[in-house]
Amino acid sequence: MQESSVEGYVHSIETFGLVDGPGVRFVVFLQGCPMRCQYCHNPETWKMKEGELWTAETLFARAYRYHRYWKGKHGREVTGGITVSGGEPLLQMEFVTRFFQLAKKQGVHTALDTSGALFSMKDPFWGRFCSLMEVTDLVILDLKEMDSGKHRKLTGRGNENILQMAKTLSDMGKDMWIRHVLVPGITDSRESLLALRDFLGTLKTVRRAEILPYHTMGQIKWEQMGFSYALDKVRPPSEDEIRRAEELTGMGA
């Protein structure tokens, strides 16, 4: 397949994102995800080969219409760019790599928002991942739960390779944002939060680390799709609970 014909399945696009990386972002949400997080607010992105099929060139042409909002880079401050999220973008690495290659040719800042669930240091994944990292400026990585058994119950998968990915990115010198969704009674134990703090202390390239409060905005989608929402009796965390988690982990916005 020639580079110009690389295609990807896109779930949706946000042209003026403000929370998915530094500055104003053109955010692409790709289709397909291997995780089944109990608090997922976009379960409609789970299935592969749904959504709209785009070529990387057509998608970048669409994104670049908004480049005036990105303003370029002033010193070390990034004021905007492109973010690819999901679903899980690592399911479509060749597409994301080509999309980011086009962005870097125009000097555009690139960010990858991933769960890390597919990470492996074995080929062919590893070679493709290294190619993607060559054109990725920032990785936004979720650390959902430090205990692998609890992580598996929460998401359907263990977390060993996700933690390995964070360590690998740190060794590569790749900038990271780390996020942790705080779910009362599930991801807020003192033991897990202190383990998260200790793990973050081993990483050298974390530029931002934040606690995200669990919310119930996705529940209606689960119900509309005929799925049972496992957290229907779980409430969002209070301000005091969020503050406690930030103190225990050393994380803040």
Mean pLDDT of 123-134: 98
pLDDT at 59 over 70: yes
pLDDT at 84 over 50: yes
pLDDT at 4 over 60: no
pLDDT at 71 over 80: no
What pLDDT does residue 174 have? 98
The residues that bridge with 74 in the sheet, in sequence order, are 77
Q: Is the dihedral of CA 64, 65, 71, 77 positive or negative?
A: negative
Residue in 17, 150, 141 with CA at minimum distance from that of residue 90: 141
Mean pLDDT of 160-184: 98
- Domains, the chain, with CATH or none: 3-249 (3.20.20.70)
Under the banding of pLDDT at 50, 70 and 90, the label for residue 76 is low
Under the banding of pLDDT at 50, 70 and 90, the label for residue 143 is very high
Q: What percent of the chain has pLDDT over 90?
A: 82
What pLDDT does residue 3 have? 47
CA 149 to chain centre: 21
41-55, 118-132, 162-176: lowest mean pLDDT where?
41-55
